[in-house]
Chains A and B, each alone.
Chain A
Amino acid sequence: MNLLKRPGILVWFVLMLATVVTTWVLSKDIVAARTGTVAIIAIAFYKVRLVLLHFMELRHAPRGLRLFFELWVLVVAAAMIGMYLSGSAAPA
């Protein structure tokens, strides 16, 4: 079976691409620190959601279970971005 036709290949590719963009583009000095950091956190939690829904198959899991983990992603992402923005001084 062709590797390209394997299940999850697209999700894997998006996860890899998102990692490359955050690690080697958004974290660099060409991007404003606050903008870059908020984007990096948001993308990280988007990746977490992809892993939960596709790799851990919550997409087809009972609704309650899916809801619990989706809420966890949302709450932790919001908390981290909120704490980051309230803690980092505005750029001089």
Chain B
Amino acid sequence: MNERVTDTAEKPARRLPGVEGVWVFLAADMLFFTALFVSTMIGRRDAAEVFEAGRLTLDPNYGGINTLILLTSSWFVVLAVNAAKHDRLDEIPRWLLAAFGCGVAFGISKAFEYGTKLSAGITPASSDFYMYYFILTGFHLLHVIGGSVMLLVFWKMSRRRAFDSRRLAVLESGGLYWHMVDLLWIILFPLLYLMK
């Protein structure tokens, strides 16, 4: 009803970022991943040795660096949305391109990581741990690829000045999705790479 009311009181009015539908989608996606996290924990409890042996073959440097990449990418999207809110239109494509670059870097790093596993003969069928590893990171990678394509489209749109303080909903909703991709990885990474 009063979505755009600002500065009416000392505190800024509460405001829904993005559109309502995107929050429903995010909640559904997060619940789907929650189910994956819980089944991984159950699998881990039932086969602790197999999980620990599998985990020890993963390189936490990949996971850690990928976390830093996604967090930075998320922040770039915050800066893009902020630039749109303040009508600094020239800035928006710059931040979006930087965020997209991070998405690509994540994908490349993941490709290398999968490459080392597959060339060592490790597949989802190798053990219960690897089944969970490939399912979780695979679903997440699909989200990263989808999000990166979205950022590229947004970059092109922002160069045509499609976003500003009055036309924010699309950019902001897409940004929310990208932050969710980031936060899912924040949980996924320790779950697979660090939990002893």
Contact = CB atoms under 8 A, between A and B. Distances in A.
Contacts of B64: 19-20, 22-24
Residue of B23, B48, B63, B183 contacting most chain A CB atoms (<10 Å): B183
A40 B192 CA distance: 12
Nearest to B17: A57
Given A19-B68, A80-B37, A56 B17 contact: yes
A56 B48 contact: no
B27 interface: yes
B195 A22 contact: no
A88 B15 contact: no
B190 A60 contact: no
Interface size class of B (residues with CB under 8 A): 35 or more
A67 interface: no
B182 A51 contact: yes
B186 A23 contact: no
B136 to A, nearest CB: 13
Residue of B37, B41, B186 contacting most chain A CB atoms (<10 Å): B186
B194 A40 contact: yes
B60 A23 contact: yes
A86 B37 contact: no
Contacts of B48: 87-89
Contact of B186 (A24, A51, A57, A61): A51
B82 A7 contact: yes
A52 B17 CA distance: 11
A16 B195 contact: no
Interface in A39-80: 40-41, 44-45, 47-48, 51-52, 54-58, 60-63, 65, 68-69, 72, 76, 79-80
Interface of B: 12, 14-17, 23, 27, 30, 34, 37-38, 41-42, 44-45, 48, 60-61, 63-64, 67-68, 71-72, 74-75, 77-79, 82, 176, 179-180, 182-183, 186-187, 189-191, 193-196
